[in-house]
Chain A
Amino acid sequence: MNQYECPCGYVYDPRTGDYENGIEAGTVFEDLPDEWVCPLCEAEKEFFELIDE
């Protein structure tokens, strides 16, 4: 499952999700709601970049 990195350094890992903001483990980045923002710096999804494995 693809991980995405925010410009602030936060990494969205679908395996853990974003529990504090109601995102369950297993949610792929593409399925995050549009209003979801980086839990660290509040940047919107569009600023995230795919991490090359």
Chain B
Amino acid sequence: MYNPLEIAANIFSVGCRDWDIRDFHGYSTYEGTTYNAYLIKDEKNVLIDTVKDEFADELLENIGKIMDPSEIDIVISNHTEMDHSGSIPKILHRIGEDTPLYCSKMGHKNLKSHFNRDYNYKVVQSGDELSIGKRTFSFLETKMLHWPDSMFSYLKEDAILFSSDAFGQHIASDAVYDDEIGDEVMSHAKKYYANILLAYSGRVQKLLQTVTDAGLKFNMICPDHGIIWRDDPSAIISAYDKWSRQEPSKKVVVIFDTMWKSTAKMAKAVAKGVEDENVSVRLMNTRKWHRSDIMTEVMDAGGIAVGSPTLNNGIFPVVADVLTYIKGLRPENKVAAAFGSYGWSGEAVKILNRELEQMKLDIIDEGLNVQYVPDKNNLEKCIDLGRKLGKKVTEIC
């Protein structure tokens, strides 16, 4: 049974599944996603977050199976990105435009700008509490996790955390809980972290510290996407701790594109060299692998090698796409090197090195430039480069 579903006494999951979405602002969602929303029945009835605009009716229908939507007294917006706030106008229109709308200071700014409406905003900050009858909410601002407005709402008596995007995963399925989906969920959560939160890992570390210091317990963690963590909420907390430390592992990701297979040959040779050092390798052609899958592999790798042919005095467009994307997510603690084949002028390696430098990665070699087709000698050099990467990765791991 999917939503609406009572996940704890008088607490309901009322969100919607988006089975169709395959591209979530540039993140590949092969299995769709969900927009989670939660309804709490108490002296005051509370709706936490909404769904993407086109799912508003479905959300109202889910709510309608529990109570008349107009019985909702309070709406909390933990995160104003449109996949969660998009239906706020339709929902408020249905339940009453003057319904108190709780949000953070930046949430207030964003919602005003998104909808250009003067709703009954109630701005809260960390530590503020809201009593709804038998239960009390405590708010915790989680700025830049992953937007300036992001916040958590914690239901103290039930020890349930509503964590907005944090701890989420893009997957639509029958499952509502971690124990209904098995180990597979961690790979989705990992991809989500790599592509949405990695850039803010320092803040994740601070947040986890705050949570530990406050001695907060979680019976359940309810994110805004994917399954609810009820069987073992600590599993996702420790995973976030691990991912946000950005500890390198014995893995090198070889990211490349190729024109007439020359750079591909080089990439394979580099990969071989890496494996010679007993370091695992991922060979990822940028036109075969989605940038968000490459990013997931890069996150916990100890090294990356980037290869591109020179095209019109520049690097390949898809390689540039992937590098721009990776740079924005600010991966750390990696060694790196570049390589590529060229015809007459060979600017690609120089440009790749500049990109790697901007990412503040540790460039361990000046890079390999090969004219036209790599010969045996060139390929040996590629293998050597792979070995060098493999050795360095082993050193830092």
Footprint of B on A, CB under 8 Å? 7-10, 40-42
Contacts and interface: CB of A to CB of B under 8 A. Distances in A.
Interface in B171-218: 199, 203
Query: For B109, B148, B199, B203, which residue has the most chain A Cβ atoms within 10 angstroms?
Result: B148
Nearest to A8: B148
Nearest to B330: A42
Contacts of A41: 144, 148
B105 interface: yes
Interface residues of B, number: 8
Given A8-B143, A8-B144, 13 more contacts: A8-B106, A8-B148, A9-B106, A9-B109, A9-B143, A9-B148, A10-B143, A40-B143, A40-B148, A40-B203, A41-B144, A41-B148, A42-B199
Contacts of A40: 143-144, 148, 203
Interface string B110-129: 00000000000000000000
Query: For A7, A10, A41, which residue has the most chain B Cβ atoms within 10 angstroms?
Result: A41
A7 B199 CA distance: 18
Contacts of B144: 8, 40-41
15 contacts: A7-B148, A8-B106, A8-B143, A8-B144, A9-B105, A9-B106, A9-B109, A9-B143, A9-B148, A10-B143, A40-B143, A40-B144, A40-B148, A41-B144, A41-B148
Q: Dominant SS at the B interface?
A: helix
A8 B143 CA distance: 8
Contacts of B199: 42
A42 B106 CA distance: 16
A42 B203 CA distance: 12
Contacts of B109: 9
Contacts of A7: 148
A10 B149 CA distance: 11
A40 B203 CA distance: 8
A7 B149 CA distance: 11
A9 B144 CA distance: 10
A40 B109 CA distance: 17
Contacts of B105: 9
A42 B143 CA distance: 13
Nearest to B141: A9
A10 B143 CA distance: 9
Contacts of A42: 199
Interface in B288-312: none
A51 B374 CA distance: 59
Nearest to B199: A42
Query: For A7, A9, A10, A42, which residue has the most chain B Cβ atoms within 10 angstroms?
Result: A9
Contacts of A9: 105-106, 109, 143, 148
Interface in B124-163: 143-144, 148
Contacts of B106: 8-9
A42 B148 CA distance: 12
A9 B104 CA distance: 11
A45 to B, nearest CB: 17
